[in-house]
Structure 1
Amino acid sequence: MSRLDSMLRRLTAQRDGLNWAAEQVRNLAGDVLDIGLGNGRTYDHLRETLPDRRVRVIDRVLQCHPSCVPPEADFLQGEARPMLDKLAQERSPIILAHYDLGFGVKEKDIAEAAALSPAIAAVMAQGGIIVSGQPLVGFDELDGPQGIPPGRYLFYQVR
């Protein structure tokens, strides 16, 4: 499979997974969290898909497309762990989180996701859904929507 085809499959799975997760949490009270802003595509999709929700964002640097800059109050700039700890202190329940951090080195990405899992759990509302590009630990894994190949994207629920 070409890298282009692989990217298209990943982005389609990401979109379909986020849409599915948004439906799962529609009746829960709480905010949305995008962990890893990047150029802002996912953040833009989340704010369009869930326009009545506050969408918080964590990233090391703000380098997204100008149309995707989150409001200053919703952007937590810095390393993920301290920003998650800060968010946990606010006690604003997160009903949907998207985890998309990575270095591009599989072993390193998996280790970071596992290390950050407890901090992610600390901000999540009971029943909340996490959509992740990396395996997380300590959550109940869900099947997610039909049509997404196993392992392409991962879906978790907080109990």
Structure 2
Amino acid sequence: MSRLDSMMRRLAAQRDGLEWGLKEVHGLDGDVVDMGLGNGRTYDHLREVASGRRIWVIDRILQCHPSCIPPEQDFLQGEAEEMLKKLAASGAKIIMAHYDFGFGEKEKDVAEAARLSPMIADIMAPGGVLVSGQPLVGFSQVRGPETVSPDRYCFYRT
């Protein structure tokens, strides 16, 4: 598979997964968190499909497209571990999380996701959903949308 085809498959899986996750938590009160702002595409999509919900964003640096800058009070800038602890201490009730942190090296990305998993668990409300580009540990994995291959994206319930 070409890198272009792989990227298109990943982005479609991400979009379908986010929309699936929001349907799964429909009726629950709480916020959404996007872990890994990057250029802001996912955050921008969440603003459209999760309207009415507070969307927290975590990233070490702000380097997104100017139209995708989150409100200052919702952007937690810094290293993931510190920002997850800050979010947990805020008392926010997270019902859906999108995990997209990464260094671009598979082994390093998987290890980081495993290391951060307990801190992610600390921010999640019971019955919440996690949509993740990396495998997480300590959560119940579930089948996501039928349009997404199980080896492309990971889905969890808390």
> What TM-score comes out, normalization by structure 2 length?
0.99
RMSD: 0.5
* Separation in 2, partners of 1:151, 1:46: 23
What runs of 5+ residues in structure 2 fail to find an aligned partner? none
Pair 1:62-2:62 in alignment: yes
Pair 1:142-2:142 in alignment: yes
Q: Which amino acid aligns with 1:146?
A: E
Tell me by how many angstroms 1:34 deviates: 0.2
* Separation in 2, partners of 1:147, 1:25: 19
Q: Which runs of 4+ in 1 moved over 6 A?
A: none
Pair 1:74-2:74 in alignment: yes
Equivalent position SS for 2:130? strand
Equivalent position SS for 1:155? strand
Tell me by how many angstroms 1:88 deviates: 0.3
What runs of 5+ residues in structure 1 fail to find an aligned partner? none
How many correspondences in the alignment?
158
Equivalent position SS for 1:131? strand
Q: Deviations over 1:58-88 (max 9, x none)?
A: 0000000000000000000000000000000
**Equivalent residue number for residue 88 of structure 1:** 88
Q: Which amino acid aligns with 2:45?
A: H
Tell me by how many angstroms 1:54 deviates: 0.3
Q: Deviations over 1:133-154 (max 9, x none)?
A: 0000000001000021121000
Equivalent position SS for 2:37? coil
**Equivalent residue number for residue 45 of structure 2:** 45
* Separation in 2, partners of 1:92, 1:119: 13
